[in-house]
Structure 1
Amino acid sequence: MDEHPAAFEGIKKALTSSPFLCYPVYDGKAQFVIQTNASRTAIGAILNQENGKNQWVIAYNSCILTDAETQYSTMERECLTIVYGFRMYHHYIYGQNVIVRTDHKPLERLKDK
């Protein structure tokens, strides 16, 4: 059982060390991207930037849902995740164009309305 905590710590270190986390670039060429995902019990968002084929991670965030939030519909949880992402990354993306990527297909229809 001792290998599990050590493996978990290794994964945490790998995900939070260079080159996995980078500073944002404000050159007008790199595009901010928020990727979101929700489950029944938690939500998460990743802030990326991309320039052509190059992509780099700026930040990861997640949280466990409250008892009330776990009762939300799938679409409501996915929307909550987008709002969460914008709140978490406001200081990075304020005044910038942002692409939102989600795996929830019904949400993609909202962009057309």
Structure 2
Amino acid sequence: ELKRVVADDITLAFPDHSLPFLVELFSDASIYGSGAVLLQEGRPIAFTSKTFSGAETRYTTGEQELLAVIHALKEWRCYLEGRPFTLKTDHKPLTFLQSVPTLNRRQARWMEFLARFV
């Protein structure tokens, strides 16, 4: 019922590639998953969510937040790659990587992927 109510009240806008995008990520302390919305001038263009796998539920909070960022960017790469956009999140998922002395393979892959958007 909740999905129907939410879906009925939201109209997606067509993207305007001449305007910048805003990626808003919604991820709380839940170990179960994350969600994101792609906005342009306050209007929703797309939504996405990810349920974490068994292994992903054991990631640190910083890694789960960063995983949410990675998922959203992969999902909307066709809109965002090579264009200016703003990433808004309630956590600082990228800052924890700066404090890690040595990245593990997963973190290194994530950083390599993120470099495409800088």
Q: TM-score, normalised by structure 2?
A: 0.71
Q: Which runs of 5+ in 1 are unaligned?
A: none
1:92 is aligned, of 59, 62, 79, to 79
Please state whether the residue corresponding to 1:63 is helix, strand or coil: strand
Secondary structure at the aligned position of 2:14 is classed as coil
The partner residue of 1:76 within 63, 66, 69 is 63
Task: Give yes or no for contact 2:63–2:93 (8 Å, CA) kept in 1.
Answer: no
- In 2, the alpha carbon distance for the partners of 1:84 and 1:68 equals 16
Q: Greater share of strand residues, 1 or 2?
A: 1
Residue of structure 2 equivalent to 1:22: 13
* Cα offsets for 1:39-85 (capped at 9, x unmatched): 310111111112xxxx2110000021101000011100000011001
> Equivalences for 1:1-113 in 2 at 5 Å?
5=1, 8-15=3-10, 18=11, 21-27=12-18, 30-38=19-27, 39-50=30-41, 55-104=42-91, 106-107=92-93, 109=95
Give the gaps of 5 or more residues in structure 2.
100-118
Aligned partners of 1:37 and 1:78 also within 8 Å: no
Identity %: 26
**Structure 1 position 25, deviation (Å):** 0.7
| TM-score, normalised by the number of residues in structure 1 | 0.73
